[in-house]
Chain A
């Protein structure tokens, strides 16, 4: 092996290690800029199947590494009209400390796919999420990915 080949091989090995040793090298750098994505659309709560909407949030690392990135996913979802808004339209006043807690039981997220350099988190909305009033409701979803590795987040509705 000539000198140039030795240098190239060393540089390649260093590049690979930098890509894969993220828990040490990236621990404090990249979570400060966690990417987020949002969706706004309608759901139909009259559908008979258990799951009436499904979203896939996929976080893909930017550095070209093929190991799946260690990632936490966070999300918030809001459905309108709320129960309080619907009851107000019926002339009934609803008051209390927390009037939108019910929905939290029917919107759940799980890691469902570990890909090459990526990881996918699926968020499912169950048909019991908002049984009041008209079937058509609006959902606003906001998802955030927290990883030790720099990357991008894509949010797609699958159902």
Chain B
């Protein structure tokens, strides 16, 4: 390959990369999925005495390609208690554990969550109690 041809190829590659570089800052793909979920009672029996323990919900985002993804979980709900949220190791998307103390209003009540997952890769979101 002569040098002028090499320079022409390099310029073309540089131009494409610059276009991609500019796009990365302004046009990152972002997929948003939402899910409503009600917790179930975590009733513990300790030597015959029963009480409600913390409720842990596992929120799973599975990507269509089965790859992990950078993702963010936003939460709202019908409960003033701020849940503790941590992302947990997973292969195939993203997974979080959401913990909160049980809600009472004339006895135990389910906590109603609205989960919003924003991800760089498309996928589906699901939720279940950690013991299920």
Interface residues of A (CB under 8 A from B): 3-4, 6-7, 10-11, 13-14, 17-18, 20-25, 27-28, 31-32, 34, 36, 70-76, 87, 92-99, 101-102, 104-105, 107-109, 142-144, 146-148
Which residues of A lie under 8 Å from residue B120 when comparing CB positions? 23, 27, 148
- CB within 8 A of B67: which of A25, A32, A74? A32
Additional 17 contacts, C-beta under 8 A, given A20-B21, A22-B24, A72-B94: A10-B11, A17-B14, A34-B68, A34-B91, A70-B70, A72-B87, A75-B88, A94-B45, A96-B42, A98-B55, A101-B42, A101-B54, A102-B53, A108-B84, A109-B86, A146-B69, A148-B120
* A98 and B129 contact, CB distance less than 8 A: yes
Q: Which residues of B contact A146 (CB under 8 A)?
A: 68-70, 94
A-B contact pairs, 21 of them (CB 8 A): A7-B10, A10-B14, A24-B21, A27-B121, A34-B91, A36-B89, A72-B71, A72-B94, A73-B87, A74-B86, A74-B88, A87-B46, A92-B46, A93-B45, A93-B46, A94-B47, A98-B53, A98-B131, A101-B54, A104-B56, A146-B69
What separation, in Å, do the CA atoms of A94 and B87 have in the docked complex? 28
Q: Given A6-B7, A31-B69, do A13 and B14 touch, yes or no (CB 8 Å)?
A: yes
Number of A-B contacts defined by CB within 8 Å: 142
Of A14, A36, A93, A95, the residue contacting B14 (CB under 8 A) is A14
Partner of A101, one of B55, B91, B95: B55
CB distance A10 to B7 under 8 Å? yes
Number of interface residues of B (CB under 8 A): 49
Give chain B interface residues in 76-125, CB to chain A under 8 Å: 84, 86-91, 94-95, 97, 99, 120-121
Sort A-B residue pairs by CB-CB distance and give the 3 closest, nearest first.
A96-B44, A101-B54, A31-B68
Chain B contact surface mostly: mixed
B residues less than 8 Å from A7 (CB atoms): 3, 6-7, 10
Question: Which chain B residues border A94 with CB–CB below 8 Å?
Answer: 44-47
Do B45 and A96 have beta carbons less than 8 Å apart? yes
Beta-carbon nearest neighbor of A27 in chain B: B120
Tell whether, in the assembled complex, residue A31 and residue B14 are in contact, meaning their CB atoms are under 8 Å apart: no
Which B residues are in CB contact (< 8 Å) with A105? Answer: 54, 84, 99
In the bound complex, residues from chain B placing their C-beta under 8 Å from that of A142 are 89
Interchain CB contact under 8 A, B87 and A74:
yes
Please state if A11 and B54 are interface contacts (CB–CB under 8 Å): no
Nearest residue in A to B4 (C-beta to C-beta)? A3
Residue of A nearest to B68 (CB): A31
Residue contact B131 to A144, C-beta cutoff 8 Å: no
**Please, how many angstroms separate the alpha-carbon atoms of A13 and B83 in the complex?**
46
